[in-house]
């Protein structure tokens, strides 16, 4: 289940963070090669405890990418939770995506939405389309979840009912390609 997997990932990231802190205490935590250190630390427990196998270079790439996105998009958020979400969304989507239900909030004539719907068609995906101007309830759902009506937004619902709301056409396109492409 994704919630359990996410919780375990967050725990492992925290554990790695503490071990790294202890190892580099004398250097005040400074380690320019930290992604290599973390990849070394995490590779075996990811495979053994979470059944998520990465080769080391994949892991280094994912860690660097997570760090970049964290600093750029959400520097005040909890880093371990952010890294876990990034890993699940960008690096290991197939571990969780097969059973998910996808819903796209959009409207006709929105160019960002068209890019996404064109790719949904190209990939032959089963995605429910909710046009926010065709049915005001769809717009209300979106505003309730996100506090704004900007589209496109992809809602990803896992079998246990947990929902993730993914805005930004670029992120949606990347997610769809990585997961189903």
Ligand X SMILES: N[C@@H](CCC(=O)N[C@@H](CS)C(=O)NCC(=O)O)C(=O)O
Among 169, 175, 176, 179, binds ligand X (CB under 6 A): 169
Assign 153 to helix, strand or coil.
strand
d(CA 129, CA 117) in angstroms, rounded, equals: 9
Number of residues that bind ligand X (CB under 6 A): 11
The CA-atom distances, in angstroms, between 28 and each of 22, 25, 31, 80, 126 are: 10, 5, 9, 20, 50
d(CA 130, CA 135) in angstroms, rounded, equals: 8
Interaction residues for ligand X, span 55-114 (CB under 6 A)? 110-112
CB-wise, 40 or 168, nearer to ligand X?
Answer: 168
CB-wise, 32 or 147, nearer to ligand X?
Answer: 147
What's the min distance (Å) between Cβ of 181 and ligand X?
19
Any contact of residue 150 with ligand X (CB under 6 A)? yes
d(CA 160, CA 145) in angstroms, rounded, equals: 18
What's the min distance (Å) between Cβ of 20 and ligand X?
35
Any contact of residue 117 with ligand X (CB under 6 A)? no
Backbone angles phi, psi at 26, to 5 degrees: -60, -30
Residues lying near ligand X in the complex (CB under 6 A) are found at 110-112, 148-152, 168-170
């Amino acid at each position: 289940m994704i919630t359990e997997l996410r919780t375990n990932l967050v725990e492992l990231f925290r554990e790695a963070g503490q071990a790294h802190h202890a190892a580099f205490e004398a250097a005040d935590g400074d380690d320019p090669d930290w992604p290599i250190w973390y990849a070394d630390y995490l590779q075996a427990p990811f495979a053994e405890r979470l059944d998520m196998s990465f080769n080391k270079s994949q892991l280094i790439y994912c860690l660097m990418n997570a760090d970049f996105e964290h600093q750029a998009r959400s520097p005040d958020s909890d880093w371990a939770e952010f890294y876990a979400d990034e890993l699940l969304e960008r690096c290991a989507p197939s571990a969780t995506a097969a059973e998910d239900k996808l819903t796209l909030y959009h409207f006709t004539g929105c160019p960002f939405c068209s890019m996404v719907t064109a790719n949904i068609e190209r990939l032959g995906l089963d995605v429910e389309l909710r046009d926010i101007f065709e049915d005001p309830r769809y717009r209300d759902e979106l505003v309730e979840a996100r506090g704004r009506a900007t589209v496109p937004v992809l809602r990803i619902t896992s079998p246990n009912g947990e929902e993730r709301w993914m805005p930004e056409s670029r992120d949606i396109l990347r997610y769809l390609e990585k997961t189903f492409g």
